[in-house]
């Protein structure tokens, strides 16, 4: 950690402290990755212990450090090399924006249809002929289609049917505009399979396996309000996540 530089006080001091610690961690080698104490970091960077705690808390949330009682705090430089971490950025636009400069999301309203067989399996209590509102979302990065997905929302849960030219940036925005209550989280399941529709979108063979993320969407009342399936372009896209063990 000798390469730590004292930081001048600034408006975003905790963020700058995080960046400095991140750079120091990236320079570490395996087996030589123990962080100094908060007091030592505070003196080395010329900032308060509370600022150090804020930066360390963010590093811990990112999975970049592990605290072990009686042994200290250990850093994990390899974590910063892992791309497309869906555990940090569940919003796909934000996720792609971490690695690409030009990201575009396009919404294509399909309209009111009968529910798909996948929807009926996810919602076993749904009525087979209950109409659902369907839309397609496409995420492009550097002009390449990276993610293709289809949403289904029961029409009875919509305050109004979106107009053919409507546009949103993410699910929470869609919820605020069209659902009776706010969207708060989604439960994801990772599958691997085939889809002729998605394969055609990506310009690949229908026999090419793809990562498929199935999501059940919940509102603030913990009610399941929607379902979607996202396919990842196998030639350009893969998602990752970090899972820490309790020590």
pLDDT of 33:
95
In whole angstroms, give the CA distance from residue 98 to residue 173.
21
**In angstroms, how far is CA 39 from the centroid of its own chain?**
34
In whole angstroms, give the CA distance from residue 48 to residue 214.
44
* CATH code for the structural domain at 13-81: 1.10.10.10
- Given pLDDT bands bounded at 50, 70 and 90, which one contains residue 10? very low
- Given pLDDT bands bounded at 50, 70 and 90, which one contains residue 11? low
In whole angstroms, give the CA distance from residue 46 to residue 89.
31
What are the pLDDT digits (tens) for 14-54?
899 999 999 999 999 989 999 999 999 999 999 999 999 99
Segments making up each domain of the chain, as ranges: 13-81, 92-232
Contact (Cβ atoms closer than 8 angstroms) between residue 230 and residue 198: no
What are the pLDDT digits (tens) for 56-84?
999 999 999 999 989 999 999 999 999 99
118 closest CA partner among 91, 150, 146: 150
User: Mean per-residue pLDDT for 149-157?
Assistant: 94
CA angle 111, 117, 121 (to 5 degrees): 120
Could you tell me the CATH superfamily of domain 92-232? Answer: Chorismate lyase-like (3.40.1410.10)
């Amino acid at each position: 950690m000798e390469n730590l530089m004292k930081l001048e006080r600034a408006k975003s001091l905790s963020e700058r402290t995080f960046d400095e610690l991140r750079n120091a961690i990236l320079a570490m080698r395996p087996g030589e990755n123990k962080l100094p104490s908060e007091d030592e970091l505070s003196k080395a960077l010329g900032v308060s212990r509370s600022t150090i705690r804020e930066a360390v808390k963010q590093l811990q949330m990112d999975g970049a450090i592990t605290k072990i009682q009686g042994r200290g705090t250990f850093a994990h430089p390899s974590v910063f090399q892992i791309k497309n971490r869906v555990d940090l950025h569940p919003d796909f636009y934000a996720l792609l924006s971490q690695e690409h400069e030009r990201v575009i999301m396009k919404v294509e309203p399909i309209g009111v249809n009968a529910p798909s067989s996948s929807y009926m399996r996810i919602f076993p209590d749904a009525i087979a002929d209950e109409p659902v509102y369907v839309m397609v979302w496409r995420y492009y990065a550097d002009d390449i289609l990276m993610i293709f997905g289809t949403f289904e929302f029961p029409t009875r849960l919509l305050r109004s049917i979106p107009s053919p030219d409507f546009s949103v940036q993410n699910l929470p925005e869609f919820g605020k505009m069209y659902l009776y209550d706010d969207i708060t989280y989604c439960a994801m399941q990772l599958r691997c399979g085939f889809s002729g529709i998605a394969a055609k979108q990506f310009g690949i063979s229908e026999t090419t396996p793809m990562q498929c993320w199935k999501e059940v969407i919940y509102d603030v009342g913990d009610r399941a309000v929607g379902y979607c399936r996202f396919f990842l372009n196998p030639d350009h896209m893969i998602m990752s996540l970090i899972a820490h063990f309790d020590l």
